[in-house]
């Protein structure tokens, strides 16, 4: 996207958290003239409407209505930014178009669901862009990122956890693990990242390492790993004092606040990759 002029209009399928507003600022900075948003009731922040040019509200599952809105607004390019709570993804009240799409899916998980939505939009000439579009500066390279620089043993735990998390994500179980001294304390599943952190942290007795990675062959159009201020606070409260993310594949959102909380709560934030990194 950065090598050529950006589209004049981009739409956001906006979930919760600060991800949507971070994208809005980055897109404006990159020269996007018009931003259109599909927001979701009980998910998207209400104040996002103040910083965009057009916005409509939907229930999760209203695919036909959302695509009709994009077509009315002349949208040809869309990004998915911000999480939709898992309970809402699996408690759909689908319209007919989404119902027909779901019937074609062999497996029903976040990746197949979002991939199916992308295919449906493509039928109407709407392209789903990578969720990291305009956000490269928020993806750290390998090394120490924020907070205290931990001792060698904790780096080794981060690298071990990276290997385990990659294996877990390959099996489509979860992308986050919590480890301590070479022992796996928790593996994320349907409950989500925060609950896995709490479960692992309670077993780690104040000295646990959380590792978050991308899936092998991650579709960067959706479900990109994200760390924000709440991740730091949740980890600290649970007794996780080292967080390791995958270098070059993870978005650190609201960075100044993340860095502040890492320093204040004494949580180390690291970026690791296939060959380690420090």
pLDDT tens digit sequence for 159-184: 999 999 999 999 988 899 999 999 99
Percentage of the chain beyond pLDDT 70 is 94
What's the CA gap between 86 and 235, in Å, rounded? 20
Q: What CATH number does residue 91 fall under?
A: 3.40.50.20
Residue 2 lies in a domain: no
Of 3, 243, 234, the closest CA to residue 133 belongs to 3
Report the chain's mean pLDDT, rounded to a whole number.
91
Task: Give the lowest-confidence range in 73-82, 188-197, 233-242.
Answer: 188-197
DSSP secondary structure, 47-81, as one string: GGGGGSSEEEEE-TT-HHHHHHHHHHTT--EEEEE
Q: What CATH number does residue 162 fall under?
A: 3.40.140.80
Looking at the fold, whether 122 and 25 belong to one and the same domain comes out as yes
Residue 85 lies in a domain: yes
| Sign (positive or negative) of CA dihedral 261, 46, 11, 63 | positive
Looking at the fold, whether 185 and 244 belong to one and the same domain comes out as yes
Per-residue pLDDT band for 89 (boundaries 50, 70, 90) equals low
> In total, how many domains does the chain have?
2
| Sign (positive or negative) of CA dihedral 149, 152, 157, 160 | positive
pLDDT tens digit sequence for 14-40: 999 899 999 999 999 999 999 999 999
Looking at the fold, whether 161 and 248 belong to one and the same domain comes out as yes
pLDDT tens digit sequence for 246-261: 999 999 999 999 999 9
Per the confidence metrics, is the pTM higher than 0.75?
Answer: yes
Taking CA atoms, 90 is separated from 95, 106, 113, 220, in Å, by: 14, 15, 10, 22
Looking at the fold, whether 18 and 120 belong to one and the same domain comes out as yes
Task: Give the lowest-confidence range in 69-83, 127-141, 220-234.
Answer: 220-234
pLDDT greater than 60 at residue 262: yes
Residue 1 lies in a domain: no
Looking at the fold, whether 192 and 261 belong to one and the same domain comes out as yes
Structure confidence at residue 5 (pLDDT)? 86
Residue 42 lies in a domain: yes
Residue 107 lies in a domain: yes
Looking at the fold, whether 48 and 146 belong to one and the same domain comes out as no
Residue 3 lies in a domain: no
Q: What angle do CA 163, 164, 168 make, to 5 degrees?
A: 120
What range defines the domain where residue 39 resides? Answer: 9-128
């Amino acid at each position: 996207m950065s090598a050529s002029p950006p589209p004049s209009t981009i739409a956001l399928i906006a979930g919760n958290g600060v991800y949507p507003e971070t994208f809005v600022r980055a897109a404006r900075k990159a020269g996007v003239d018009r931003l259109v948003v599909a927001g979701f009731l009980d998910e998207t922040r209400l104040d996002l409407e103040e910083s965009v040019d057009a916005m409509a509200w939907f229930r999760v599952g209203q695919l036909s209505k959302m695509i009709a809105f994009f077509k009315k607004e002349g949208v040809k390019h869309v990004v998915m930014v911000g999480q939709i709570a898992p309970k809402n993804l699996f408690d759909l009240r689908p319209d007919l178009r989404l119902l027909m799409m779901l019937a074609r899916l062999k497996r029903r998980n976040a990746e197949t669901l979002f991939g199916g939505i992308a295919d449906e939009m493509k039928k109407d000439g709407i392209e789903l862009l990578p969720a990291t579009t305009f956000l490269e500066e928020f993806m750290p390279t390998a090394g120490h990122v924020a907070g205290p620089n931990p001792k060698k043993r904790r780096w080794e735990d981060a690298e071990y956890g990276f290997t385990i998390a990659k294996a877990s994500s390959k099996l489509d179980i979860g992308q986050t693990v919590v480890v301590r001294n070479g022992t796996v304390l928790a593996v994320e599943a349907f409950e989500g990242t925060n609950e896995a952190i709490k479960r692992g942290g309670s077993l780690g007795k104040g000295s646990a390492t959380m590792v978050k990675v991308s899936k092998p062959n991650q579709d960067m159009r959706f479900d990109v790993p994200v760390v924000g201020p709440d991740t730091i606070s949740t980890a600290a409260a649970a007794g996780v004092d080292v967080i390791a993310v995958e270098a070059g594949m993870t978005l650190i959102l609201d960075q100044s606040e993340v860095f502040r909380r890492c320093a204040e709560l004494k949580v180390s934030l690291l970026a690791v990759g296939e060959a380690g990194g420090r």
